[in-house]
Copies of this chain bind each other. A is one copy, B any other.
């Protein structure tokens, strides 16, 4: 019987020293609990999302040195952990030193070599080349190595044998993507299980949270255990890691499946903990229910953990939030107040002459409900001064000596207000109190750039920018009902029409608000960015002409017809947003704050984009002409 400790570890990316110290503690605890094996996640020493830090030789050496010190701890416990591995005599195809994403297993101070591997560690075989992942940029896969050695990968993939208490255990050790082989032309697990009699599969991972992903993981991994009749231990890290623009939470949710595919142990999401399980042919644990994780509570948990950890990592204790009386800033306020404490949150309402008594009242009510710090800082004087200063300014053409004056249009005035709020007041006040100010943008706004650069588009973190507007509303209701258990976000904020209130046209009291019709556009925009094969106006127009649009988008039936009675109106709306999504919104996203990712496609490093302007395919133009009764 083998006592296994799986260590759901909070990895500090880029800080091997901290990870090393914490690993020592976890190992000592496991030793005291007489565990035979302790298993840490993938890349537990260096971290996983490090950008080009992988090109620093000194960093590689440092990680290897700490790895050696961990190996030295394996006197009476088998330690399995992920780390970088380096072959200083070989090169990657970029000409830099050869690096492997490796799994080390050490026992009695020595590394265990997989039977057929040329190295004393297991090498990640399959590399994710999608979403936020960049493995191919830095590492050499076992597949690459097999090709280099002119061997089929089957001849390298082999288990690690460890002799514990006089008994030999055959461990099939893989890393993360190796267990997600559906789209590859071979499966590392199948190869291992077909060629060897294994006692256990071990999958060490650094797998970021994505809404709903664990449901799929349970299906896939449970089947792997059952099909191969072997227990599977999945150890994932917690923590946050980022690619600069996009911040991922890692939820852990480490799980042990028995040989029947039942969950027999699992670790709560976002909890750092050693968990122990005894594996033997005889002993069997009761099957646990499959955790569900596809509701707003799950997203809420990811946001809370992500915000808290990010603030901790950047050493920010105080936060300023500009509140407008709208839903996004209200949800941000309730969220931050809960995560870092109301005493660390300052809410600032910044009215102009266009802000209604309604929204000013709702802002005040929100602030009072939450019990945060609260201030009102009006913008009208500086906005008026600015418009006046611009119009008075003499712009001289120094070639002709002609004097010109600029004219400030209504649209330009709108953006002056937005920038005055964020760049003058929020940024200044945040600096004065020694904190940061939040960006409260949602994903619908972010998609089409319905925001002002250096205005409401700015902030140190866009915590809600991976949530569609309907999810922001869901979160508002969840915060009131489940978190605070009282109406902290006034119902009036949930009910009011969303509006920027930057001009007399955007009068909330007259029900005039954003040009975005969220019940439809949330889903239209989602198809642009989150569909596996990305949707473009061509697809939309085909579905529209077939009458299957709402079905494809997943929104309420009949919405297109309701908002856009004619094909001409429908197409004008479609092109309006597509032009923005692929035009000005890209320029804005380039300069947008980091986004906390929760969806299966977040802006930033996950959804990579170029500023190339809008494009319409030939097939789109033909179908459009047909629908409009014109010639293409």
| A residues whose Cβ falls under 8 Å from a Cβ of B | 13-17, 47, 49-53, 55-59, 61-62, 65-66, 91-97, 126-130, 134, 136-137, 143, 147-148, 150, 152, 182-185, 241-245, 313-314, 342-343, 346, 367-368, 370-377, 381-382, 385-386, 389-390, 393-399, 404, 406-409, 411-412, 415-416, 419-420, 422-425, 427-429, 431-433, 453-455, 458, 460, 532-536, 538-539, 586-587, 589-594, 605, 607-613, 615, 617-620
Contact = CB atoms under 8 A, between A and B. Distances in A.
A385 B381 contact: yes
Q: Return the 8 tightest CB-CB contacts between A and B, nearest first.
A: A423-B423, A14-B612, A62-B617, A95-B183, A58-B538, A94-B130, A51-B609, A371-B399
Contact of A408 (B55, B432, B586): B432
B395 A416 contact: no
A59 B535 CA distance: 10
Contacts of A342: 399
A273 to B, nearest CB: 24
A616 to B, nearest CB: 8
B56 A15 contact: no
A455 B372 CA distance: 29
Contacts of A406: 429, 432-433
Contacts of A95: 182-183, 532
B244 A610 contact: yes
Contacts of A53: 534, 609-610, 612
A93 B314 contact: no
A123 to B, nearest CB: 16
A455 B589 CA distance: 18
A337 to B, nearest CB: 11
A589 B419 CA distance: 20
A243 B431 CA distance: 32
A137 B393 CA distance: 51
Given A454-B454, A460-B587, A536-B59, A412 B393 contact: no
B58 A617 contact: yes
A245 B377 CA distance: 34
Contacts of A615: 14-17, 59
